[in-house]
Amino acid sequence: MKIHEYQAKDILSRYGVPVQPGKVATTSEQAEAIAREFGVPVVIKAQVYVGGRGKAGGVKIAQTPQETREVAGKILGMDIKGLTVEKVLVTPALDIKEEYYVGVIMDRATQAPVVMVSAAGGVDIEQVAEETPEKIIKEPIDIRWGLPAWRARDLLQQAGMPSVVVARGGTILSLLARAFVEADATLAEINPLALTADGQVIAADAKILVDDNALYRQKEYASWSEPEEANPLEFQAKAEGLTYVKLDGNVGIIGNGAGLVMTTLDMVARSGGKPANFLDIGGGAKADVMKKALLFVARDPQVKGILVNIFGGITRGEEVAQGIIMAQPELPPGMPIVARLSGTGEEEGRAMLADAGLTWGFDMRDAAQKIVAEIRARG
């Protein structure tokens, strides 16, 4: 789950990490009041769940409270990569001397959180990693121990940071690692970690991703959830508990099991069609779940036909067929549907579909070819 910069800074400040002060505004009047409270100049930063806010014009400096109001008025409501800006963070501008990067990320290869440190901060760390990997110091940590401050100082020193940053940044990095573990983060980074002209070491920007699987025990952070996806269908799907990803094509796809659904998408593409979505109904789905999934996929106006591909183990063919038949009256008239049922209850399910005048495929390839042909035939 994504959270905003101001929320990530809030979490870090609870652990004692010095963060740049600031407040969130949802109107330009509020932004002006915050500028008066903290003093100008201020930086006005769009709070949206996408990277590259600065390049998109979502981060601006204002020299006076009046200018803050004008600039905030422009940023609020702005569209950044499909997401509308509803909040801005107003924060006193820092006199930054140097910018560094410190972060912790869950690493699949080492199966541990990995600490990353670089003296090349303030920029896209993935770009640094690709172009000049030698500028990043990486170290896996034992999640049961965390990162002791002395070890954090070693890493900062290896990265070539000055004495004051080694000393204060060591404590900050150790706290960042603790916050990462306790918040069930999959990523926690401070970028930039700023050294100011007056010698402060401070988090000028922060990003935290919280593990979706841990939201049951991170109730406060879970309550911060907002639409993450630029696509409204994906947001609705999440609210309805469906595992759905929107794609660009016109063939709606429903299946059971992530690997099988991905393979079905690939098969449709190979048969000359373009998948409109990924939807996994999981194991043991009953007729009502099947119906709900069909109606959901049909909500996408791009969808011109739907392929249902079910391998029945604990999912029964009759239940799937029943769900497809139940959905018929509520689907757009004439919407072609091809179902492929295999395994438990396949004979019964196919017979039910045939009785209802619906098409079925005898395997995944046959079904993919049939739905692509039916959509083409309807032009």
Partner 1 sequence: MSILFDSSSRVIVQGMTGSEGRYHTTRMVQSGTNVVGGMTPGKGGQTFEGIPVFDTVAEAKEKTGANVSCIFVPPPGAADAIMEAAASGMELVVCITEGIPVNDMARVAAFLKEHPTTLIGPNCPGLATPGAGKIGIMPYHIFKEGNVGFVSRSGTLTYEVVSLLTQAGLGQSSCIGIGGDPIIGTTFTRILQMFEEDPKTDAVVMCGEIGGSDEEDAAAYAKTMKKPVVGFISGRTAPPGKRMGHAGAIISGKTGTAQGKVEALQAANVPVADTIFDIPDLVKEAMRR
Residues near partner 1 (CB under 8 A) are 106, 108-109, 111-113, 126, 130, 142-144, 181, 184, 186, 211-214, 216-217, 243, 245, 247, 255-263, 265-270, 275, 278, 280, 283, 311, 313-314, 342-344, 363-365
Q: Which is nearer to partner 1, 262 or 331 (by Cβ)?
A: 262
Question: In DSSP terms, which residues pair with 342 in a beta bridge?
Answer: 311
Of 101, 244, 319, 346, which residue is the catalytic one?
A: 101
Q: Which is nearer to partner 1, 23 or 274 (CB)?
A: 274
Nearer to partner 1, 68 or 309 (CB): 309
Catalytic residue, candidates 32, 189, 229, 319: 189
In the complex, least distance from residue 307 CB atom to partner 1, rounded to whole angstroms: 13
Q: How far is the CB of 203 from partner 1 (least distance, A)?
A: 22
- Measured from the CB atom, is 184 or 205 closer to partner 1? 184
Shortest separation between residue 2's beta carbon and partner 1, angstroms: 12
Instruction: Pick between residue 55 and residue 144 the one whose CB is nearest to partner 1.
Output: 144
CA distances from 214 to 5, 23, 258 (A): 20, 28, 20
- In whole angstroms, the minimum distance from the beta carbon of 302 to partner 1 comes to 15
Rounded to a whole number of angstroms, the minimum distance from the CB of residue 51 to partner 1 is: 11
- Tell me, yes or no, if 347 is annotated catalytic: no
189 carries an active-site annotation: yes
Kindly list the catalytic residues.
101, 189
